[in-house]
Structure 1
């Protein structure tokens, strides 16, 4: 597909009813039919093992690994298969050597899986955790750049960042921030949970030490599986769990592979979802989702809700806030109208994906008008 060609709505690939506006991809996605079918076929492998040789399953692991690597611009050997992003981050924290007295930099109200492992690392290694407060003007990028270069601050040892704030889609522009982190001589760890599958993610451009993402959100896959990219100079570490598959002669990021790797259900599901995204191409997905979130932002005009300006939010997530806070029970009232969204840290988070069409947007806006 030409990356510039408009991506049409892909609702026909899903089992989303016409009267449901599911705007909660940032929580977890529905499965495309082909992904569900891949899982059902995998269940037969375990249900009838005499009819489905186990020897065929390892190829599914490599299929999923290769698709994940392509999605983020990595080499296949640079990607490990793990159980979750928290599993990935525990592995990362166990394999970083940092100088005591340095800073761990992150945004305020960060998702726990990108915080807890590094809180522990800071406590053990004598680091200072600095959380950049939510900026009043919504410009996370400027706030982070100012924090990185702040005169008199302890040296930056580690930045744990995401391309978007998970609560409301606030843009964290790693194209600008990553070079500043590298210039400071710090390690860069990226949680691409709210990016991979919806917008372009490129380890060649950002040059992270580590990057992780799961499959159950934007890449349209199952729960319980994630991928960890490790830069070549970070691949000689120690996994947090030892198993036959990740011991020598395993090399590259495979050294961090999880145990019970060869899951006949999750691996083909993950690979199928990733291959769908790759076929559409992330720039085309992002362009479609930008049109939908812009339409949502225009539709709420006059309702007393505010969204960040277009240049300060990612294409695929729209966070809406009210001056006095959202009214209690708003998401439940929307659900009763067939509109599904989440409230996160005081923001109504609307997150469409490729199954969403303009009718879903209009249903959401109408439901908000009634609810407010």
Structure 2
């Protein structure tokens, strides 16, 4: 794959290596949003099928991306909404402990804190080892060893949002299933740039915000729900999620049954005529690029950076236990994060500081000049 910057409107003077914060808009996604806004000029042109067709297209595209069925996919406004949906439909008889990773993203923590308070469960937080030697591997081992007969839920990201540590979801998922525990995955920081196959991982839920690695708009989230949750109760009772809702003339013939599969969990007004077309265009492009190729591009792009920085006292997780699209760089002990941030700002290099790591998150719009600027800055400040 070659650099895809021509498909974006990004000024050459800025080095945006921060897709894990917010992706830039593809030109095609931007245009889809504009067209969606303009479509409301003439509301008489909106017909019943518009409430269903694009939603089903979006569902099918995300299903293709994660190797699911169209009916397994729900359309939601945020990851917190999807996690709350999953938490509402868990069988409490399966156990009393919720396992999460240390310093996990708040949306995938607060929901389980509330759950534990309401249902007299225990929140078991598995922190990483203090040292850096084989850190990712040891952290995975700790999580695996924490799963017991009393485990009710294992709730993780595919990669840790702060530093890109990769969690072995196939092994963890198998252990969870052996104990009849639920596996709930926040895929926001991986799906779109890292291959994910629900048939291999077999999560009970996979929930992904659209505005990062899926390159879609804000306030659009896509979720896969597995067989154990698909007969659950939604957070809200929308008209469009009920059987026969396509027949507008019969909407007052109230229907007890839902639309098939995970559609029952869709948010109200899911047919958003601006955001849905934008998300469709974004997923079309992601599928054309292929997450495997995106991952390979990012690995090649950052290879010199990863090879060189340890010589200056920086620490980077072993490649087997992190993503190539997103990873943390831990600074030498004598280097101030505030001082580094000033230097990055001077050169218009955009990265994020999360916890104890500087988070590097390239994508296909980045090129060698972006990485060279970052490497030069990190080398210079380490020497001084």
Answer yes or no: same fold by TM over 0.5.
yes
Q: Distance in 2 between matches of 1:280 and 1:168?
A: 24
75-84 or 153-162, larger mean C-alpha shift: 153-162
What is the match of residue 3 of structure 1? none
2:185 is aligned with 1:185: no
1:246 alignment partner, SS class: coil
Offset of residue 133 of structure 1? 1.0
Match of 2:259 in 1: 250
Correspondence 1:35 to 2:45: no
Question: What is the Cα deviation at residue 327 of structure 1?
Answer: 2.5
Does 1:335 find its partner at 2:345? yes
> Deviation at 1:154?
6.3
Q: Residue 319 and residue 147 in structure 1: after superposition, are their counterparts in 2 closer, same or farther (change >3 A)? A: closer
How far apart in 2 are the matches of 1:249 and 1:309? 47
| Aligned counterpart, 1:4 | none
Give the alignment partner of residue 268 of structure 1, picking from 267, 272, 277.
277
Matched, 1:77 2:87: no
SS for the counterpart of 2:125 is strand
- The alpha-carbon distance between structure 1 residues 337 and 272, as it changes in their structure 2 partners (threshold 3 A), is same
Offset at residue 138 of structure 1 (A): 4.8
Q: Which runs of 5+ in 2 are unaligned?
A: 243-256
Query: Do the aligned partners of 1:141 and 1:177 also contact (CA within 8 Å) in 2?
Result: no
Q: Distance in 2 between matches of 1:320 and 1:355?
A: 21
Corresponding position: 1:357 with 2:352: no
Asked if residue 202 in structure 1 is aligned to residue 197 in structure 2, the reply is yes
- Structure 2 counterpart SS, 1:213: strand
In structure 1, distance between residues paired with 2:332 and 2:281: 43
**How far off is 1:9 after superposition?**
1.1
> Against the structure 1 CA distance between its residues 91 and 225, is the aligned structure 2 distance closer, same or farther, given a 3 Å change threshold?
same
Residues 195 and 344 of structure 1, relative CA distance in 2, 3 Å threshold: same
CA distance in 1, matches of 2:23, 2:365: 10
Measure, in 2, the Cα distance between the counterparts of 1:329 and 1:271.
41
TM-score, normalised via structure 1 length: 0.92
Q: Is the alpha carbon distance of 1:139 and 1:98 closer, same or farther for their aligned partners in structure 2, counting shifts above 3 Å? A: farther
**Matching residue of 1:285:** 294
TM-score between the two structures when normalised by the length of structure 2: 0.90
CA RMSD in angstroms comes to: 1.9
Q: Do the aligned partners of 1:21 and 1:340 also contact (CA within 8 Å) in 2?
A: yes
Q: Which residue of 1 aligns with 2:152?
A: 157
Q: CA deviation at 1:329?
A: 4.5
* Residue 275 (structure 1) shift: 0.8
Q: Match for 2:40 among 38, 43, 46?
A: 46
Give the Å deviation of 1:99.
Answer: 3.2
Bigger shift: residues 75-84 or 226-235: 226-235
Q: Would the alpha carbon gap of residues 138 and 124 (structure 1) be closer, same or farther in structure 2, given more than 3 Å must change?
A: farther
Local SS of the residue matching 1:157: strand
Give the match for residue 355 of structure 2.
345
Task: Report the Cα distance in structure 2 between the residues aligned to 1:279 and 1:133, rounded to whole angstroms.
Answer: 37
CA distance in 2: counterparts of 1:154 and 1:330, whole angstroms: 46
> Contact 1:101/1:126 (CA < 8 Å) preserved in 2?
no
Which residue matches 2:246? none
Secondary structure in 2 matching 1:160: strand
Counterpart-to-counterpart distance in 2, 1:258 and 1:83: 7
1:227-246 residue CA offsets vs partner (Å, 9 max, x unmatched): 11111231111111111012
Q: Distance in 1 between matches of 2:240 and 2:194?
A: 32
Give the Å deviation of 1:208.
0.7
Structure 1, 241-250 or 134-143: larger mean CA deviation: 134-143
How many angstroms does 1:214 deviate by? 1.1
